Amino acid sequence: MYILVINAGSSSLKYQLFDMPSDKPLCSGLIERIGTDEAFIRHKILTSVPAQTIERKATIADHTAGLQQMVYLLSDAQIGIIHSADEIQAVGHRVVHGGERFAGATLITPAVKEAIKALFPLAPLHNPVNYKCIEIAEKTFPNARQIAIFDTAFHQTMPAYAFRYAIPEELYAEDGIRVYGFHGTSHKYVSEKASAWLGKPDAKLISLHLGNGCSITAVQAGKSIDTSMGFSPLAGLVMGTRSGDIDPAIIFHLVSNGYSPDEVNDLLNKQSGMQGLTGLNDMRDIRKALEAGNRAAALALDIYAYRIRKYIGAYAAVLNGLDALLFTAGVGENDSAMREQVCSSLDVLNIHLDSSKNSTSSSEIRDVSRAGAAVKILVIPTNEELEIAIQSFELLFPS
């Protein structure tokens, strides 16, 4: 069956079309900078040999226009995969926040849509966009079943002592203030790949999703038992523009010195992290600055790696052992120097990286740990769209 996966960000739209149960996409696409005059579309037809890529700039006012472009490319007379929208039998949607209610793939009903809407305040940049894409897809593909895959769902297995904050009970019971965690779809995908690669279903794993947003998750026997992002995606590791963990008293200090709450929110989410430390948020640009002798870049990279090492130590203790350390997402998969920096000085955990293995690249899982090392260091390309397609198919056809 044809399953279309829609992964919408605040100003972007990724999609893949699968003929399930095959895990090979028929086509994929990315639309960036939605809402600007410099929007960019990259559409790949993967059924042709070699794969055909269409790239062009366009003015795409909103996600509605973006989805219209997607449908046009999918059904184009010359390059299209489908002849009409009726051929799409299911649409899997990435939804960032599912609160405590959703712990797995969910068939979208009016009640589910209302629940997603009720969570807008907890994910104001993403859930409204995810909701809008659901509504557009319902109209565009009226015969398809719409399915939500929540980023928070994988972390619903965390024990209460890991997800509760030490604040008055009513703030949890009435306002839902707790650790939710994010990047769950990615952490689930790579941890399952790692367990299969190791041949160990009960593996103790630490999964590092390092991109512009970063999070680390402790996984045992396929379940999330702790994660670095919290009530929002702001907590935890140092990120591209987010501060990560910070003393909450700093917020009060800033407000008492003239910052408005909105300004503090903007500061910590959009002007901090690597951006705040270096004026740059792309790791590739920071690497270039380091090569040019930029001392701020050197310090920022030290801070970034140090924060990760602290969490690795904490989660190794939580797991009471470790079988493998997993690197994934843009930085995790592609920045060999950061992997080496993170893995340095972790001898006490039996984590030893092989520099020659680490310098190679591949689209497959690869082991970059030293021969004979007790803890494997695995680089695993993530594929959130495939994971969404798999969960959608399994929901419709449970084994």
pLDDT at position 177: 95
pTM value surpassing 0.85: yes
Which residues in 220-256 are b (16+ Cβ under 10 Å) and which e? beeebbbbbbbbbbbbbbbbbbbbbeeeeeebeebee
213 is in an annotated binding site: yes
User: Percent of the chain, pLDDT > 70?
Assistant: 100
7 is in an annotated binding site: yes
Other beta carbons less than 10 A from residue 76's beta carbon = 14
330 is in an annotated binding site: yes
151 as an active site residue: the answer is yes
Of 86, 151, 285, 367, catalytic? 151
Vertex 295: Cα angle to 213 and 351 (nearest 5)? 55
Nearest of 166, 186, 190 to residue 178 by alpha carbon: 166
At 289, the pLDDT band (50, 70, 90 cuts) reads very high
Helices 384-396 + 184-198 axis angle, to 10? 90
Which residues in 155-190 are b (16+ Cβ under 10 Å) and which e? bbbbeeebbeeeeeeeebeeebbbbbbbbbbbbbbb
Per DSSP, what are the bridge partners of residue 7? 14
Task: Give residue-wise pLDDT tens across range 304-316.
Answer: 999 999 999 999 9
184 is in an annotated binding site: no
Task: Give residue-wise pLDDT tens across range 96-143.
Answer: 999 999 999 999 999 999 999 999 888 887 899 899 999 999 998 999
At 159, the pLDDT band (50, 70, 90 cuts) reads very high
Q: What is the mean pLDDT of residues 267-283?
A: 94
- Single-letter amino acid, residue 288: K
Q: What is the side-by-side strand order in the sheet with 90-95?
A: 52-58, 39-45, 25-32, 13-19, 2-8, 90-95, 145-150, 106-107
Whether residue 349 has pLDDT greater than 90: yes
210 is in an annotated binding site: yes
101 is in an annotated binding site: no
pLDDT at position 80: 87
pLDDT at position 395: 96
Whether residue 381 has pLDDT greater than 80: yes
Whether residue 322 has pLDDT greater than 80: yes
Measured distance between the N- and C-terminal CA atoms of the chain, rounded to whole angstroms: 16
Strand 223-227 and strand 204-210: pairing? unpaired
Q: What is the mean pLDDT of residues 346-373?
A: 94
How far apart, in whole angstroms, are the C-alpha atoms of residue 271 and residue 230?
A: 19
pLDDT at position 36: 80
Show the domains of the chain with their CATH numbers: 2-150 (3.30.420.40), 200-379 (3.30.420.40)
